[in-house]
Amino acid sequence: MFDFTLDAAEGSARAGRFTTPHGEIPTPSFMPVGTLGTVKALSMEEVEALGARMVLANTYHLYLRPGHELVRSLGGVHEFSRWRGPMLTDSGGYQVFSLAGTRRIHDDGVEFKSHIDGSAHSFTPEFVMEIQRALGADVVMAFDECPPGGCDRATAERACARTLAWLERCAKRFGELGCEEPGPSQALFPVLQGNVFDDLRDEHARRVRELGEWAGFGIGGLSVGEAKPDMWRTLEVLDDALPTDRPRYLMGVGYPDDLLEAIARGCDLFDCVAPTRNARHGTAWTSEEGQVNLKAARFRDDTGPLDAACDCATCGRYDRAYLRHLVVAGEWLAMRLLSIHNLRFLVRLGEEARSRIGEGSFDGWRRDWLQRYRKEGSRQ
């Protein structure tokens, strides 16, 4: 039910196809985040129309509200959210570790308090597998410990050891659940840790690979505050350490320029809340002007589209003057129209990278694209 085919490669950049029970994802591919079973402000028809192929949902959030057992009884997260294509649920680990001050980590798992009502909860590797089984996404992520960017080596080492121990427990429970009950066909991705310590990354990846034949790998512990050159170097270490015939999902990335840098270093799948969070602040990405904020006075009477090179529903129908008006007035429609554009921008970037890799023109295109984007972005 799960397969990854490499169609082309250029340097470390790869054009592949990841097959899941709910369909195929041509890679590289950006995955919109549908935290609570909805991509903020959008309908799933809109998410589909903008070309997204796989959608994320958050285990932590759905566990708290409406509850994983309710989602199961309603037919699982696909049926619940009306997304018919491939889905992935994260492990909730990143969320509960972010609850600084209200969570306690120990070897068995994490105790934490709900951000909604302060009620006490506990995640163990086994329980997280049970929750994700109930949600029923195609890809489920192992429960890992993600230390903050800039942590010292000893902290990173401890997190790697714990993540490895938890991975064994996740894999065991995941296997049991697949045998015990009827349910969806799912694949478990391990999450790779090791911060920006090259030898730790290499060692951790090797030990994870020894634990099983994984259908794909999650790359965790990046985009958490480390310097960009450290992130790129770490991806290069992992590019050597990971098998080429499995998809690599770089978690929490990212911005358009980060996406291209990571694609160049062999990453295939991505997710980030930036497209929708930026939309909420009136910020949009453009091909020719980099990142712009629609509140700027210069857009007041600008009757051009947000991005003349974009094929999204927003750019096809609305002009900058109207979008600026909606943003300034705080209208709900602003959030929606900018989200559609920003998501399409990243999805299209993946599509174009794939096509360029197929032609062997990816690297030159990427350099030109980044130079133009960054130059314009720095002028804002």
Active site residues: 90, 271
How many residues sit close enough to its own copies to count as binding (CB under 8 A)? 34
Cβ distance to its own copies smaller for residue 320 or 354: 320
What three-state secondary structure class fits 331? coil
- Min dist CB 45 to its own copies, Å, is 8
Cβ distance to its own copies smaller for residue 74 or 308: 74
Helices (H), the chain: 44-49, 59-64, 68-73, 76-81, 93-98, 125-135, 153-180, 198-210, 228-241, 256-264, 274-280, 313-317, 320-328, 332-359, 362-379
User: What are the tokens at 339?
Assistant: 């989200």
Q: Read off the amino acid at residue 19.
A: T
- Other CB atoms within 10 Å distance of the CB of residue 34: 25
Cβ distance to its own copies smaller for residue 75 or 360: 75
**Which residues inside 71-90 make contact with its own copies, applying CB under 8 A?**
73-74, 80-82
Contact call for residue 378 and its own copies (CB under 8 A): no
Give the one residue of 127, 232, 322, 365 binding its own copies; rule: CB under 8 A.
322
Which string of b and e fits 293-316 if b means at least 16 CB within 10 Å?
ebeeeebeebeebbbeebebbbbe
- The rounded distance, in Å, linking the Cα atoms of 266 and 124 is 31
**Contact letters for its own copies, residues 271-310 (x by CB under 8 A):** -----------------------------xx-x-------
Cβ distance to its own copies smaller for residue 38 or 355: 38
Contact in structure between 341 and 312 (CB atoms under 8 Å) = yes
Give the one residue of 3, 168, 199, 331 binding its own copies; rule: CB under 8 A.
331
**Which residues inside 135-164 make contact with its own copies, applying CB under 8 A?**
none
- The rounded distance, in Å, linking the Cα atoms of 37 and 170 is 24
Give the one residue of 9, 36, 105, 273 binding its own copies; rule: CB under 8 A.
36
**Interface residues with its own copies (CB under 8 A)?**
36-38, 40-43, 65-66, 70, 73-74, 80-82, 300-301, 303, 317-319, 321-322, 324-326, 328-329, 331-333, 335-337
